[in-house]
Amino acid sequence: MHEDLVTARITPTEHLRILSQLEVNRLLDSSKNGLHKLFRECSLAVLSHGNYTDDARELMRRHNAFDIRILQQDRGIKLEVKGAPAEAFVDGEMIKGINEHLFSVLRDIVYTREFIIDNPNFNLEDSGDITNAVFHILRNADIFSYGIEPKLIVCWGGHSISRTEYDYTKEVGYQLGLRKLDICTGCGPGAMKGPMKGATFGHSKQRIHNGQYLGITEPGIIAAESPNPIVNDLVILPDIEKRLEAFVRTGHGIIVFPGGAGTTEEILYILGILLHPENTYVPFPLIFTAPESSRNYFEQIDRFIGDTLGEKARQKYQIIIDNPAKVARKMKKGMKKVRDFRREHSDAYYFNWLLKIDHEFQKPFIPTHQNMKNLELSKDLKKHVLAANLRRAFSGIVAGNVKQEGIKAIKEHGLFEISGDKEIMQGMDTLLKSFIQQDRMKLPSDTPYTPCYKIVK
């Protein structure tokens, strides 16, 4: 076992070369208010690239000897890793891309705590301040391209997808790359890696050497979706809600591939925002696409949306089956509408300030048993509010499937109970059962998937 583990001292190649003594102390602090536990878990996920798991606790168990420390020196900082996975190194040196990701983790954890969470100038109960916090984190990560016209396409989809679906995401990415469009994903495997991989070939053919492959994640999910090697800009937001807002503020259009509960959560998030009355005229291209063999997946999603959020929600997206070139052409055409709208309204190309995001989509949802049980899922609600609550329900299922706190809560207190209007519950039950049958809830394993929830009709 020890032959597969490495102890090394790492010098930053790109990000965050110096820290204050206060920052170092917090990163070494293992208490509840310290940052060491968070830094250790996120760092291990980055170093374990390719060793994907749906259970962060299992990753920590496998590498229980792993530790990471800050070494403060006159010429800057170094990181000392002990018991690190050997696959992160080549001939004794850390792979450069993993080095960049590791120091991105350090940069974002330090900045978020020091300048956002502990900053009295940010009231994270206020909608405007939340948006500004997201902006500041992204700006600190230096991911904005000033003066460049809209071209960043967000790609959502599952990390547990079939080979046919994965190859399809690559072909879509290739077609996007040929049209000089950049890619943003959740940074993990599957539908998050495929579009980036395809785009690298498209960009190469167009002799584009500075394409952006932006990965946006958050601490609770990074172990299940550790950054794939193509990501050249990695940002860690403090929670899922700020992560989702970062996607829609920076992206200029969204493509959704097949996935599971997490992908449905993302779909409900963007639909809830686009259904808000103040966003009626904001152009935001949204395409659902899959290979022919997965046509049924989006037919089920489309039916669920129609049964819960209604026809107006269905008008916010287009479904394109088995036609990557058409998907890319539609997105390229959509970029012109986004550009013209932003220019007309003096909105930035790099951050969508005008998009109205209701506070219901910004408040962190803690998936406790009581919070899941108390979710109001009624057709009497305004559609964008119902979308927000449905999003929370699927977020809770994701937590119960792959996040440490969710898995622990299920183990201690049993299944989450979800209740609501009979028609909504029937549609949700049907959709989730189809995900289970298609192995979309978790990465394939020898152990059959056990639901973390119970639909109460």
CA dist 417 to 70, 389, 430, 432, Å? 43, 14, 16, 14
By C-alpha distance, which of 253, 229, 238 is closest to 338? 253
**Do 351 and 413 lie in a common domain?**
yes
**Do 61 and 206 lie in a common domain?**
no
**Would residue 133 count as lying in a domain?**
no
**Would residue 131 count as lying in a domain?**
no
Q: In whole angstroms, what is the distance from residue 376 CA to residue 372 CA? A: 9
Q: What CATH number is given to the structural domain containing 104?
A: 3.30.1850.10
Instruction: Render the burial of 130-154: b for 16+ CB within 10 Å, e for the rest.
Output: bbbbbbbbbebbebeeeeeebbbbb
**Do 74 and 186 lie in a common domain?**
no
**Would residue 246 count as lying in a domain?**
yes
**Would residue 37 count as lying in a domain?**
yes
The number of folded domains in the chain is 2
pLDDT (0 to 100) of residue 1: 39
Residue where one domain finishes, among candidates 121, 137, 156 = 121
**Would residue 142 count as lying in a domain?**
no
pLDDT (0 to 100) of residue 56: 63
**Do 279 and 341 lie in a common domain?**
yes
**Do 275 and 356 lie in a common domain?**
yes
pLDDT (0 to 100) of residue 51: 65
**Do 113 and 231 lie in a common domain?**
no
**Do 108 and 169 lie in a common domain?**
no
Residue where one domain finishes, among candidates 121, 136, 171 = 121
pLDDT (0 to 100) of residue 64: 85
**Do 98 and 178 lie in a common domain?**
no
**Do 61 and 153 lie in a common domain?**
no
By C-alpha distance, which of 452, 444, 276 is closest to 359? 276
Which residues does the chain have with pLDDT short of 70? 1-3, 15-17, 50-57, 74-75, 446
CA dist 223 to 60, 143, 361, 454, Å? 9, 23, 24, 25
Look up the domain containing 321 and give its range: 147-457
**Do 198 and 100 lie in a common domain?**
no
- The residue assigned the tokens 């050249």 is 232
Half-sphere exposure of 156 toward its Cβ, with a 13 Å CA cutoff? 24
- For residue 215, report the phi and psi dihedrals to the nearest 5 degrees: -115, 125
**Would residue 134 count as lying in a domain?**
no
Q: What CATH number is given to the structural domain containing 455?
A: 3.40.50.450
Instruction: Return the structure tokens found at 435.
Output: 């995900």
**Would residue 450 count as lying in a domain?**
yes
Q: In whole angstroms, what is the distance from residue 240 CA to residue 217 CA? A: 8
Residue 379 near residue 385 (C-beta atoms within 8 A): no
pTM for the predicted model, two decimal places = 0.94
Q: In whole angstroms, what is the distance from residue 177 CA to residue 172 CA? A: 9
Residue where one domain finishes, among candidates 121, 155, 188 = 121
**Would residue 132 count as lying in a domain?**
no
**Do 104 and 180 lie in a common domain?**
no
For the chain, the distance separating the N- and C-terminal CA atoms, rounded to the nearest angstrom, is: 49
**Do 302 and 412 lie in a common domain?**
yes
